[in-house]
Amino acid sequence: MSNQRVLESNHPPATDAARQPITFLEAIREGIREEMERDEQVLVLGEDVGAYGGAFKVTDGLLDRFGEGRVIDTPISEIGFTGAAAGAAHMGMRPIVEMQFIDFIACAFDIITNYIATSRYRGSGPQPIVIRGPCGGGVRGGPFHSQNPEAAFFHTPGLKIVYPATALDAKGLMKSAIRDDDPVLFFEHKWLYRRPQLREAMPPEDHTVPLGRASIHREGRDVTVVTYGAMVHKVLDAARALEETDEISIEVLDLRTLLPLDEETIVDSVQKTNRLLIVHEDTRTGGIAGEIAMRINEAAFEWLDAPILRVTALDTPVPYAPPLEDFFLPQSDDIVSAARYLAGY
């Protein structure tokens, strides 16, 4: 089968214009577009992804470039088009599925966890699919346009989960996710999509970021803060504040890929700072922080000078009203309090 058929490179020559700083959203689009140029087996499916360019315009322009055979508008049917992506993957395609909001991935939970995640193990072959979509709160989207459902899939062997925080990582991880031979859930925090301060210039060469590798965003001595997605930026704000006011030095570790978890990088950092705080925008109970804490307990217990703590959203649905949502979400002040508590432990 032509699973790995690759077209001749059709990249436009790198120009200065091509290297202008671009947004997080544009970086994702560029990653998808470049992989579609590179490999004709890559196709996009989802609601309103074609003529309309997607609810957030992530796939804008792809229909004109690649045509209806590779950018497919679907009925409102997450089971239907996620299942169809799985079938196409069996035939050697590399589908990218858009969930209009990642909250709706729950509709396809069965197909993803029972079918796609187990296909290789069952002997039915690889499922090189990227399932992507806008996630996250802080944009007043209410209970069904704000969720972070990564933990619901974190428990499923066979899946990979990517959750970038920067434009460079978003593009590089998207390209790696598309090339990966396993199914990848790709979480795009919508609050990051158009932040002007996140604009970055992309390198002219083929820019990929490997899956399964965390990055140290900021080096520090006193407390390791493990986080991902939009929380990376709140943690960075907190780290700057703590440095100034308390002279506490925070190491900020951005997981980038949640599954597989880069345990080694976390352990290395904890062995340096001896204190660990985990911050995620997802709710608390059953969140990824619990698993990270357990891994460190197993692998680096003697290195700890303080209990492992976490800052997360509350164990409630995501509320709509600004005072409620702001109260629900972890804020920089919470991170400051927690890090200060740990540093003084």
* Residue positions annotated with a catalytic role: 145
* 102 scored as a contact of another protein (CB under 8 A): no
Q: Does 216 bind another protein (CB under 8 A)?
A: no
Q: Give bridge partners of residue 189 from the DSSP assignment.
A: 135
Angle 189-85-77 from CA coordinates, rounded to 5°? 75
Closest approach of another protein to the CB of residue 341, in Å: 28
Q: How far apart are alpha carbons 39 and 56 in whole angstroms?
A: 24
Minimum CB–partner distance for residue 212 and another protein (Å): 10
Q: Does 146 engage in binding with another protein (CB under 8 A)?
A: no
Largest CA distance in the chain: 61
8 counts as binding another protein under rule CB under 8 A: no
**Minimum gap (Å) between residue 93 Cβ and another protein:** 6
Of 18, 84, 216, 314, which lies in the binding site for another protein, with binding defined by CB under 8 A? 84
Is residue 158 involved in binding another protein (CB under 8 A)?
A: yes
139, 180 in Cβ contact below 8 A? no
Using CB under 8 A, pick the residue from 74, 176, 265, 269 that binds another protein: 74
Nearest CA to 249 out of 222, 217, 276 is that of 222
Residues 338 and 184: their CA atoms lie apart, in Å, by: 32
* Whether the Cβ atoms of residue 234 and residue 336 lie closer than 8 Å to each other: no
**Structural element, H or E, at residue 169:** helix 167-179
Instruction: Pick the closer one to another protein by CB: 157 or 323.
Output: 157
Which residue of 8, 9, 13, 121 would you call a contact of another protein, by CB under 8 A? 121
Contact flag: residue 118 with another protein (CB under 8 A):
yes
Contact criterion met (CB below 8 Å) for 283 and 314: yes
Q: Which is nearer to another protein, 3 or 249 (CB)?
A: 3
Of the candidates 312, 337, 294, which has an alpha carbon nearest to the alpha carbon of residue 231? 312
- The answer to whether 263 contacts another protein (rule: CB under 8 A) is yes
φ, ψ of residue 3 to 5 degrees: the values are -60, -35
110 interacts with another protein by CB under 8 A: yes
Q: Is 79 in the site for another protein (CB under 8 A)?
A: yes
| Pairing relationship of beta strands 215-218 and 250-254 according to DSSP bridges | antiparallel
Among 32, 62, 63, 85, binds another protein (CB under 8 A): 85
287's tokens? 């969140």
Is residue 304 at the binding interface for another protein, with CB under 8 A as the rule?
A: no
Residue 246 or 263 with smaller CB distance to another protein: 263
User: Which residues have CB under 8 Å from 13's CB, separation 6+?
Assistant: none
- Residues forming contacts to another protein in the complex (CB under 8 A) are 1, 43, 69-70, 72, 74-75, 77-93, 95, 110-111, 114-115, 118, 120-126, 157-158, 160, 180-182, 260, 263-264, 267, 298-299
